[in-house]
Amino acid sequence: MAQDGYRHKSGTCSSFGESREGRWESDLSWHRVYARYQLGQTSLPSASHLRTGPGQGTGQHAHLGPPAVQSGQHGGWPRSNLTSPELRLRSDVPRWTRVVAPAVVGLVVLGGALYSVHLGSTLRFVDERDYYAIAQNLVHGRGYSLDGVNPTAFRPPGYPLFMSLFVALGADVVVLRILNFFMLATSMLLLRRLALTQGNRIGAAIAPMLCAGYVVLFYTAGTLYPQTLAGLLLLATTAVLAEDRLGWLPAGLILGMLFGWLALSVIHFLFSFAVVVVWVLVARTEWKPGTRVASVAVATAVVSLMVGVWLARNERALGAPVLTTNGGITLLHGNSEKAGYNSGASTDISAYAPEDTGLAELQLDRYYQRRAIEFMRRNEGRAIRLYALKVLNWFNYRNDLAQKSESSRGKDMLMFVSYVPLLLLFAARLVLAGRFRVSRLEALLVALYLSNSFAYAIWHTRIRYRLPYDLLLIAVVALFIDNLLERRQPRSKSVRLPQA
């Protein structure tokens, strides 16, 4: 039977089926069966040989059954977007969907390598120079430091530690840029994988194309910023959550390690971890409530352990268990007299310069934090309005940059035409949620994307900070386009199984 494409896996939870004995492992098995049927290599099993629920079906193949993808299961959370009661077998999916993703990914890697060579070893931004300096100091035994002498916590350790592994092997700036493009390419493949877990064959081909068309991802991969790595890790967490076959213990361990690394790369991902915890407890209904709590506890313990090591280091090196010493100035950039909803790091905070110019890193961070909190307390109405505008600015296509040479009208227009259509399709997906039921994975992606606008607005919202989450936006849009195209397919394309 295996030679006809059947892949029955008893007693497990498949990508599409329920956690019941005798469900199909993957709806893609049906595509393989039907494709061979059309080629005359096999025949379709009769309806009497299939089981669509417990206790149904007869004959030697009574243990086999199609995936349980009817909407409304799992407490109202559909497991995928394949909700047709007729078991629509999308055998007419164009052949280009099989090759477009590898082709696009290959072009991105090739173009990224050429772009990296073109950029050379020049680091244009202060952040890049900081991350690279820390990686160099780590490799040469000077500790986690910006200047090679004084310990720092101004930059989180996740990305510099990652870079230092390759710097130790002799990688220069150009090689590190190329490595970023390989990570971007892997993110594109993970987008494809996410779409396939939802049964979206066309969406699996569209997602890498949308990713390649969102040019700011390509631009950012050419910089030594942590956002490309963070985007890859974030997609990896969603891939783990979309994989039903993982047990609660390995899922908790892997999620904990991924989010621990994320939090050590970009501190704000601790907010995203909280969203994921709620999603697991509410939506992962194939696990018993106690199992959900246990998996969340394991993930939380791993994240706490990884972050705790960094806190302990800062307690020893700086005198306080802080996550970062960059939070104070960032808070002041977003909450001060001359702060605007889109000004970010370009905000003029010269009026808040400390009288004591010899403050240590930790003391300076706390000073800036106090001044920002004082401003918000004295200007509550303005601070609230500014916060609301910063939430909306999360969805902006342009930012006021501190480094004016990197800003231009042409770049803004390119960003407009690549981001705004994605945002409009995302909004359409939400509006049409009643017509196209939202799967539980889509619910997670939407929750992560929207909730972080409120988290980042406490400080300030920037396109760069949003980029890892834009990969989730692309995933939602690709799934939505696939659904739209599926609705347009004529009903004659549906296949009904022959009766016994």
- pLDDT (tens digit, 9 = 90+) per residue, 133-163? 999 999 999 999 999 999 999 999 999 999 9
Any domain includes 348: no
The predicted model gives 387-401 an average pLDDT of: 93
Question: 491: how many CB neighbours lie within 10 A of its CB?
Answer: 8
140 domain-assigned:
no
Residue 275 pLDDT exceeds 70: yes
Confidence category of residue 7, pLDDT binned at 50, 70, 90: very low
Tens-place pLDDT, residues 334-368: 999 999 999 998 899 999 999 888 899 999 999 99
Burial (CB count <10 Å: 0-12, 13-18, 19+), residue 418: middle
Residue 479 lies in a domain: yes
pLDDT at 95: 73
Report yes or no on 32 lying in a domain: no
272 in any annotated domain:
yes
Q: For residues 360 and 121, give the distance between their C-alpha atoms in angstroms, rounded to a whole number.
A: 31
Residue, of 421 and 32, whose pLDDT is higher: 421
Which value, to the nearest 10 degrees, does the dihedral of the CA atoms of residues 22, 24, 25, 27 take? -170
Contact in structure between 209 and 100 (CB atoms under 8 Å): yes
pLDDT tens profile 67-76: 433 333 444 4
Distance CA 312, CA 298 (A): 21
Residue 205 resides in a domain: yes
> Could you give the number of structural domains in the chain?
1
Whether this prediction's pTM lies above 0.95 is answered by no
Is residue 55 domain-resident? no
Residue 382 domain-assigned (yes or no):
no
Domain extent, residue 251, equals 96-121+172-320+392-396+410-488
CA distances from 356 to 208, 341, 363 (A): 52, 29, 10
95 against 324, higher pLDDT: 324
Better pLDDT: 415 or 499: 415
pLDDT for position 403: 66
